[in-house]
């Protein structure tokens, strides 16, 4: 695909070569994300960062990524703080905001809402999560993390064995990640969820049509055997029609050090898109894993910045100009790599 000027709405847009190009750009931007170098290549550009659902890392890392490239960020959080609360349509909101911005990032609770918004936008729109549908930039940073973690073990993504655990029905990060994995060769996927929270059939079909091995499990221990990556997800309680329904699933699949030691290979990498639900009744990824060097969750969040910088650089067509606008950092900078667990 041609990234320049494009909306980024779904991972369906990407071919494998696009991913390779994006990751090469991300690698090149690492010194800027790590505060070794500073660039002002997007000086004067404005990002509208529109989050109509809760977010910590996607919102802040998109904003930081834009700032690190020299651009300015305007934010709206929550529907009630925007004119959507007065009945304004996504169409009109998009017409207005695209007059104020060079690029828009948007998260919204309804499936398809970001795509609808993009049809009326005059500037590129990036989907930061639309309901239970997709979360493409999360999948890109997840895949970038998988690539880096496996490279450190001398492996590539082809032939990957991965277990994806938790709410696979409503987990939009999982939907996007599984579809991205289908672009690679001979991936083996364990889909591990409580009955009722299985991955959507259309997502499984993308993997199966690509010739990948997909197995469905309802038992946590069985499902996480013999994998390179253990990817845990949260019960998406905000998607259930009643709180009681979410209560039925919460805490059913808890990964902790004992379960890991008993079932996983010694160097299985643990990932999670975060937030992990650490409340007593959930404990889906226990704190006792914090000392496990294979816990990659905060390396994963760090990677979100550089991957989102790469998206902006490619969509706004400044990849070749980044270094022309660069200099060394002169303030005190804490050592950022490797990040602690």
Residues near ligand ASP (CB under 6 A) are 129, 135, 172-173, 233-234, 236, 273, 275
User: Counting Cβ atoms within 10 Å, is residue 118 exposed (0-12), middle (13-18) or buried (19+)?
Assistant: buried
Q: Indicate which single residue of 57, 175, 190, 299 sits in contact with ligand CP (rule: CB under 6 A).
A: 57
As measured in angstroms, the least distance from the Cβ of 277 to ligand ASP is 8
Shortest Cβ distance from residue 155 to ligand CP (Å)?
25
End-to-end Cα separation, the chain, in angstroms = 35
Residue 73's SS3 state is strand
Four-CA torsion 89, 92, 95, 100, nearest 10 degrees: -90
Give the integer Cα–Cα distance in Å for 264 and 260.
5
Q: Are 298 and 270 in contact (CB under 8 A)?
A: no
Q: Minimum distance between the CB of residue 233 and ligand ASP, rounded to whole angstroms? A: 6
Contact 301, 21 (CB under 8 A): no
Binder of residue 234, out of ligand CP, ligand ASP, none (CB less than 5 to 8 A by kind): ligand ASP
56 binds, among ligand CP, ligand ASP, none (CB under 5 to 8 A by kind): ligand CP
- Closer residue to ligand CP, CB minimum distance, 19 or 128: 128
One residue of 56, 119, 267, 278 binding ligand CP per CB under 6 A: 56
Residue 299 binds: one of ligand CP, ligand ASP, none (C-beta under 5 to 8 A by kind): none
Among ligand CP, ligand ASP, none, residue 263 binds (CB under 5-8 Å by kind): none
Those residues whose C-beta lies under 8 Å from the C-beta of residue 162, and which sit 6 or more positions away, are: 146, 181, 187, 188, 189, 190, 227, 228, 229, 230, 231
Which entry of ligand ASP, ligand CP, none binds 172, CB below 5 to 8 A by partner kind?
ligand ASP
Which residue lies nearer to ligand CP by CB, 212 or 272? Answer: 272
Q: How far is the CB of 63 from ligand CP (least distance, A)?
A: 11
Given the rule CB under 6 A, which of 55-63, 144-152, 289-297, 313-321 is the region that contacts ligand CP?
Answer: 55-63
CA dist 147 to 34, 36, 320, Å? Answer: 19, 23, 24
Which is nearer to ligand CP, 53 or 149 (by Cβ)? 53
Helix intervals (H) in 210-285: 220-223, 243-249, 257-263
Give the interface with ligand CP as residue ranges (CB under 6 A): 55-59, 138, 273-275
């Amino acid at each position: 695909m041609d990234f320049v000027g494009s909306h980024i709405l779904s991972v369906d847009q990407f071919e494998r070569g696009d991913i390779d190009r994006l990751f090469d750009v991300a690698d090149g931007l690492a010194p800027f994300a790590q505060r070794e170098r500073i660039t002002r290549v997007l000086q004067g550009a404005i990002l509208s960062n529109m989050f109509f659902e809760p977010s910590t890392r996607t919102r802040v890392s998109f904003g930081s990524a834009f700032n690190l490239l020299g651009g300015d960020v305007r934010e709206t959080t929550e529907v009630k703080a925007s004119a959507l609360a007065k009945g304004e349509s996504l169409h009109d909101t998009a017409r207005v905001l695209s007059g104020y911005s060079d690029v828009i990032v948007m998260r919204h609770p309804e499936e398809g809402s970001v795509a609808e918004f993009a049809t009326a936008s005059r500037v590129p729109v990036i989907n930061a999560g639309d309901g239970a549908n997709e979360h493409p930039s999360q999948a890109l940073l997840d895949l970038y993390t998988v690539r880096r973690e496996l490279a450190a073990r001398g492996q590539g993504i082809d032939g990957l064995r991965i277990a994806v655990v938790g709410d696979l029905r409503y987990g939009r990060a999982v939907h996007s990640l599984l579809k991205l994995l289908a672009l690679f060769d001979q991936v083996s996927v364990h889909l591990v969820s409580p009955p009722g929270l299985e991955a959507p059939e259309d997502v499984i079909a993308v993997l199966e049509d690509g010739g990948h091995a997909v197995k469905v499990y309802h038992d946590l221990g069985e499902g996480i055997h013999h994998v390179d990556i253990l990817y845990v997800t949260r019960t998406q309680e905000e998607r259930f029609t009643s709180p009681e329904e979410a209560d039925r699933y919460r805490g059913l699949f808890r990964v902790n050090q004992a379960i890991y030691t008993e079932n996983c290979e010694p160097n299985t990498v643990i990932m999670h898109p975060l937030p992990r639900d650490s409340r007593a009744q959930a404990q889906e990824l226990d704190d006792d894993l914090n000392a496990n060097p294979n816990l990659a969750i905060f390396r994963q969040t760090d990677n979100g910045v550089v991957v989102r910088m790469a998206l902006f650089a490619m969509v706004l067509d400044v990849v070749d100009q980044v270094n022309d606008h660069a200099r060394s950092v002169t303030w005190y900078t804490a050592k950022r790599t490797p990040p602690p667990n």
